[in-house]
Amino acid sequence: KSRVLSGIMPTGDLHIGNYIGAIKNWVAMQYEHDSFFCIVNMHAITTPQDPKELYEKTREVAALYIACGVDPKVSTIFVQSHVPAHTELCWILNCIAPMGWLERMTQFKEKSKGDRERSSVGLFDYPVLQAADILLYGNVPPVPLYVPVGEDQKQHLELARDLAERFNRLFGDTLAIPEPYIPKYGARVMGLDDPTKKMSKSEKSRYHAIRLLDSPDDIRKKIARAVTDPGRDIKFDPERPGLYNLLTIYQAVTGQSEEEIEAHFEGKGYADLKRELAERLVEYLAPLQERYRDIRQDPSYLENVLAQGAERARETSAVVLNAVKKAVGLE
């Protein structure tokens, strides 16, 4: 059976960009593929984290996966650090990964802010650990392996493919070549306060992102304040990035087509769009937030899901890791 793997870092607060760009598609894909969804806490520590917060965020993200519709009876939900195969394969891949490839990664350039003296080796190595996360779930012999992510992960997915191909060239066909799955709409949700910047978990500005756990009041305030562009008619116009972004979010939560949405807002203005969008978002997030609160009521339920997930992920990933070790001559 084909496989799906994806993950999110337990840093900052999950927002509708994470949902529309990634989790929504996980939920849709989980019934067709054997699916693995990881909370990548080892990636989180490539930049400084408060230990207590990291531990708590890891649970929060796991509970949000479930609240968003990832079904632990169908999919495997696990914490990256519970499965040592990830760091083991990362080390082996490190030994065939050219530094030059990693030097070209735009995320390192951004996150290190050019300060290589003070950036961690882990931050530099981040994409290799991500490649390991993915390649471990390709099975032996390889099966189709899909990675549903937002557009910002394209370069990391390329690197994972390149590393798999390089490994196979050097040591014989072992690893599946993963396929990114990047949605047509909503692969890059932009900041509400600045529609030229990607909506981001680490952005501190209050009016930047709609978080999955935002209160109705916050949602209304943020949408009301969202930056828009000159022009009146409500159209999917890429030249008007603020409007385009709001319409993309509207489309994601209503499931309507561009034509339907444009027809609906014919003769209406920004104020109508914002009012409706805010109400749709509030309605959309309410059941998710209720499920989230239910899940958090019972910590033992969540710990059980994560323990079973870890066991399943360990079993599954051991197959590829063993094949890799054999191919390299480690076993």
- Identify the three-state secondary structure at position 138: coil
C-alpha dihedral (243, 245, 249, 255), degrees to nearest 10: 80
Catalytic site includes residue 184: no
Among 3, 24, 33, 43, binds ligand TYM (CB under 6 A): 43
**Contacting ligand TYM within 169-208 (CB under 6 A):** 187-189, 198-199
Among 21, 72, 195, 242, binds ligand TYM (CB under 6 A): 21
Among 3, 4, 22, 320, binds ligand TYM (CB under 6 A): 22
Task: Exactly one of 198, 235, 268, 325 is catalytic; name it.
Answer: 198
Q: Considering only CA atoms, which of 218, 290, 299, 288 is closest in space to residue 56?
A: 299
| Site for ligand TYM contains 7 (CB under 6 A) | yes
Cis peptide before 141 (omega within 30 of 0): yes
Task: Exactly one of 111, 154, 235, 268 is catalytic; name it.
Answer: 111
Catalytic site includes residue 198: yes
Q: Give the integer Cα–Cα distance in Å for 290 and 69.
A: 12
Which residues carry a binding-site annotation for ATP? 17-18, 150-152, 189, 198-202
* Residue indicated by tokens 């116009």: 237
Using CA atoms, how far residue 263 sits from 205, 233, 234, 256, in Å, is 34, 11, 9, 11
Catalytic site includes residue 1: no
DSSP type of residue 190:
B
**Contacting ligand TYM within 112-171 (CB under 6 A):** 130, 133-134, 147, 149-150, 152-153, 156
Please, which residue, 47 or 275, has the CB nearer to ligand TYM?
Answer: 47
Instruction: Output the residue with the shortest Cβ distance to ligand TYM.
Output: 21
Q: Least distance to ligand TYM from the beta carbon of 287, Å?
A: 21
| Exposure b/e, 31-43, CB count within 10 A at least 16 = b | eebbbbbbbbbbb
Binding site residues, ligand TYM, CB under 6 A: 5-9, 17-18, 20-22, 40, 43, 130, 133-134, 147, 149-150, 152-153, 156, 187-189, 198-199
